[in-house]
Structures are given as structure tokens and as C-alpha cells.
Amino acid sequence: MSNPYGAREGVGVSTAGPTPEAPTKRRLAPSLKFQTFSSLRHRDFRYLWIGTVFMTAGVWIQTLTMGWLVYDLTESPFLLGAVSGVRAIPSLFAAPIAGVVTDRVDRKRLMQLSQTLIFCSILLLGILVATDLIQIWHVFVLGITAGLGNTFNNPSRQSLMAVLVPKEELMNAFALNSVAFQSTRVIGPAIGGFLIVWFGIAGNFFVQSAAILGVIAMVTMMRIPPVEPKQTKLSIAGDMKEGFKYVRQNEIVMGILLIGIIPAFLSMPLQALMPIFAAERLGVGADGLGIIMAFMGAGALASAIVMASMTNLKQKGLVMLFSLVVMGITLIFFSQFAMLAISLPLMFIFGAGEMGYRVMNNTILQMVVPDEFRGRVVSIYMLDQGVSPLGSFVAGAMAAGIGAPIVLAMMGVCVVALATTALVKLPYMRQLS
């Protein structure tokens, strides 16, 4: 029987129950196979993975350092959220174009050019800080420029997963990609916090610049299958319209995208508001902020390793929605306790829930979408990176008026409500496997 939602074989809505020919013991056996690093045996995926380590190490150092820089310059919750918010501009407006470009051009060249733009932006920011010429508008402008580079880099990087590894190893590849992301999330903020104390803010931006050079080197060594010339008479605008039409007409893809994008607006502002909680609620400095962020990353790393090991995990939809509930409840509790001993384990749990949700969401999406729409759909999915800073902007503005704890609690309630609504109103979400 064909899948009514157009999903690929191996993913979709599971409705059949156990049969006499498939006893429970035999059906569960594949789920117990642990192949944590199986996809790393593929040469070019290894280069992509190592490049992700370099890239994300720089991103976490940048995120912490830029937040601390803005707070040090202005002590303004509004501007703290606004600087993150402006990074939404490239993703919100250029992401659909980036998806079309990804489906049409040499992805390797696109990644090299986009990473070079990010490198120049961060290096210039470090120079401005080191020479005491830095002003708040510099942070806004260079944040937008780096965001533009990420907007064109991310769809090509994400869409390569399905090209570099077999489909049966996609979940392992995405989970290992998350391991790279989260392992640097564990050590990156902690190192970034101590580097601020030891070497100053400029040194952190120089470290990120060096990390981006590592990314460019890894991409250069990759042998990426070339993109077949797209046989179409459509313009870029026509290609964009075709991608949105596909998403609109495919219920399962639309649902996965909404579950992937909306929580980014509701929960990711936690990171933008974290300097406020660290300084005003928990009474710690830059090094303490780094430790708090590292606990969040440690939880995410532990969750990602589990996901990478269980390549045949069933009921991915339920795991995704349950993880969202965990995230929302944790945000509520974190907003109400001003004790470091309680906040650290809460951040560990939040990180674990966030990772479970993201790996499941991304894996299902990549397995469902056909190759000819992959770049465009991934670019829509990557709107979460534009929505997240926009959520930070809104959260910062609200925090300036009613306080960060109330804002964070409200966002936690909304996340729980979203997951509950999806469970009740979208029954196919519970059946995705």
C-alpha cells in the first residue's frame, strides 16, 4: 500500500500492528543494534563532520562572546535581544533563495564562498574590539553579514547528508552531526567564558576566525557529487514557488516543518536571555555563564549519542513531541529558581530534550523529501535560524518591560501547548516512524 502522505519507504505513518509472522522479540532486535559511529566510515562525510566540529566550536564561542560584548557595552536587555534579532534578517528573507541556489549550483563552491564571508565578518569584529573602535552598530552590521553567510551555507551542508551516506544511515549521520555540534557546545561556552577573563573579547573572535579556516579546509578536501543540471524553464522565483507549493500540498512535510520552526521562536531565546539570568538571578560572571551553557550542551551531547546508537528507533514522532514537552516544562522551572545548584541540572535536561526533538525532526524530514526538492525544503526548515533570533528580539523587548523570568515561563507554557496540540490534532505525528 502506498503512503498517503508521499513519504519515502522506511518513514511515514505506521498503522499496521504485529503479525503472527513477526513476533515481538524478533521485531525489537534491530532497535537494539548499537552502531554509534557507522556513518563516519564514509570519507566525505568524515570531512563534513570534522568541518562541523570546527564550525560549531566557533559558533558557540561567538554566541557567548557577542552576548557578553553587547551586555558589557550597553547593559540593555532590549539590545541584547535585538542583536540576536537582526541575525534573523538574512534567514527570513534570503533562505528561500538560498534553497533554490543549493538545488542549482556546485554545493562545494557555495559552502566555500559562504564560509569565507563569515570568516571576514568575525575577523573584522575581532579587530574592531582589539583596537577599541567597536560600537554597537558594528555588532549589528557584522552580525547580519555573518548571518547571510550562514543562510547560504546551511542548506547546502544539510542537504549533503542524504548524498554522502546511505538512507538507512541518515538518522545516525544526523545524530553524529549533532554530536559534533553538542560536543563543542559543552566545551565551547566554557572555554569562551574563560577566554574572556584571560584574553578579552577580541581573542575569542580571533579563535572563531581560526575555526572557520578549519571548516574551509575540510570542505576543500571533500569530493562532493556534482549537482545535475536542473532541467527547468522556471526562474528563481518560479523555483521558489514550486518548493512552497510542494510543502503546502504535503501534509506530513508541512507538519514537520511547523514543529521544527515554531519552537525555535519560543524556546531558543533562552540563550539570548542567559546573560541576564547569569548576572542578575544567579550572581555569576562570564566564566559562570560558560559553565551554565556547557551543562546545556552536555545534556544535548548525551542525548545525541543515544540517538546515534539507536539507528532503528521506532515512533520517532512520539519521541519528537515528548522531547518538546520536556523542553517546555524545563523552561518553566528554570525561570522560577534563582539557585545555581538547581539551574545546572535543569539546563542539562533542557539540552537533552532539545536534542531529541531536533534529531527526530530533521531525520524524518530528510527521509520524506524527494531529492529534487531537498535544497528548497531544507532552506524552509532553516528558517528556524531566522525565527530564533527574531524570538530573541521579542523576548528581549518583553524582558525589558515585565522581566526575563516571566517571559521565559510564558515561552515554556507555549512550547508545552504546541506539543500537546500536535498530539491531539495531528494524529499522524504520533505514528511517524
What average pLDDT score do residues 238-245 get? 78
Three-state DSSP class for 13? Answer: strand
As beta bridge partners, residue 432 has 13
96 lies in a domain? Answer: yes
The reported pLDDT for the residue numbered 330 is 92
Give dist(CA 159, CA 104) in Å, integer: 12
pLDDT band of residue 189 (cuts 50, 70, 90) is low
Contact 287/194 with Cβ under 8 angstroms? yes
What average pLDDT score do residues 205-214 get? 85
Give dist(CA 265, CA 169) in Å, integer: 30
9-13, 118-122, 207-211, 218-222, range with the lowest pLDDT: 9-13
What cell numbers appear for 92 in the block? 527570513
User: ∠ at Cα 102 (45, 121), nearest 5°?
Assistant: 85
pLDDT band of residue 187 (cuts 50, 70, 90) is low
The reported pLDDT for the residue numbered 341 is 86
205 lies in a domain? Answer: yes
Supply the CATH number for residue 67's domain.
1.20.1250.20
Query: What percent of the chain is predicted at pLDDT more than 90?
Result: 6
Higher pLDDT, 361 or 228: 361
Q: Write down the mean pLDDT value for the chain.
A: 77
The reported pLDDT for the residue numbered 346 is 92
Single-letter amino acid code for the residue at 145: T
Name residues whose C-beta falls within 8 Å of residue 162's C-beta, 6 or more positions apart in sequence. 170, 366, 371, 374
Query: What percent of the chain is predicted at pLDDT more than 70?
Result: 81
Give tens-digit pLDDT for 289-316: 878 877 887 888 788 778 777 766 677 7
154 lies in a domain? Answer: yes
Range of the domain at 141: 38-219+235-431
| Closest to 186 measured CA to CA, from 282, 51, 60 | 60
Write out 194-208 in H/E/C secondary structure: HHHHHHCHHHHHHHH
109 lies in a domain? Answer: yes
Name residues whose C-beta falls within 8 Å of residue 250's C-beta, 6 or more positions apart in sequence. 5, 6
Number of compact structural domains in the chain:
1
Phi/psi for 34 (5° steps) reads -110, 110
N- to C-terminal Cα distance for the chain?
Answer: 16
Three-state DSSP class for 34? Answer: strand
pLDDT at position 409 over 60: yes
What average pLDDT score do residues 386-407 get? 79
The reported pLDDT for the residue numbered 184 is 65
Give tens-digit pLDDT for 125-173: 889 988 989 888 888 888 888 888 888 888 778 777 777 887 777 777 8
As beta bridge partners, residue 13 has 432
